[in-house]
Amino acid sequence: MSYYISGIGFVTPEISGCGRDFKEFNPKPGKLPLISRKDVLDKPYKPFGRMDFFSKIGFAGTCFAYKDAGLIKADQIENSETCDTAIIVSTFLRCLDTDNHYFETVKLQNGKNASPALFAYALPNAFLGEASIYLKTTGQCFAINEDNSNGITILKMAFDILNSKESEIVICGICDTNVPGFMQSVLNNSNNDFAGSLFFTLSQKEQKLNYGKIKEDENGTIFFNDKSIKDLLDLAHMCMESKKIKDELNL
């Protein structure tokens, strides 16, 4: 079976937004920027402000990918119906920085001042819930943790969802913050180089806007427009190359 990639969204140290707004995708290591609501959404949206940093970059990447696929315009969300879109993510560090901040509030007065607001975001799937609320999606939402979040496992899980016909569209990707300060000593040789979020909108049917076709062969190798990919960063790069060719040919 083959599927279509119709949108890309990302937050990286240098650039953030929808794939169609950029010419290439070559993320460099660096400190992630603070993301404000205005960077992501046109209209005020209260829940954005209460999210932790991990959730903000995940939520932003998800919304950018959906928007890039032409499936939403921020101002239409309020009136749209629910849909069965799934949103899934792979993360190496999860929301460890938030976990640490939360436990700081527990330590303050032996638990008296534990912050319920921070605890609510001490799970890596919290932003998936926020995205499902905002995008009105009732499909699967779950996070996985891998030693090296290259994204191939989550991509295959997205294929399984599309294959089961449970959802017509799946947003899948990777999301990680920079290594939190308190974990630096443990992670000086990190297995995960990418800090930021990178999401793809995959669909069963060809959409008006699409970057190309993606499929998996019987050996488990994944191909984008018939070229094998090694990870999601590679896939994003190839999608942007494909877009460039289409733009040049005016397709």
Report the interface residues with other proteins, using CB under 8 A: 47, 82, 90-94, 96, 99-100, 102-103, 106-107, 109-112, 114-116, 119-120, 122-126, 128-130, 132-133, 135-147, 153, 156-157, 160, 163-164, 166, 182-183, 185-187, 218, 220
Asked if 70 contacts 207 with a C-beta cutoff of 8 angstroms, the reply is yes
Cβ atoms within 10 Å of 48's Cβ, excluding its own: 21
Q: Which is nearer to other proteins, 26 or 163 (CB)?
A: 163
- CB 155, min distance to other proteins, A: 12
Nearer Cβ to other proteins (122/232): 122
> What separation in angstroms does the CA of 246 have from each of 71, 241, 242, 249?
20, 9, 6, 5
Looking at beta carbons only, is 109 or 250 nearer to other proteins?
109
Q: Smallest gap, in angstroms, from Cβ of residue 88 to other proteins?
A: 9
Minimum distance of other proteins from residue 227's CB (angstroms):
22
Smallest distance, Å, CB 27 to other proteins?
Answer: 21
| Closer residue to other proteins in complex, CB, 141/238 | 141
Q: Which whole-number Å values give the CA distances from 180 to 6, 97, 184, 215, in the listed order?
A: 33, 6, 7, 36
Longest dimension (CA), the chain: 65
CB 176 within 8 A of CB 196: yes
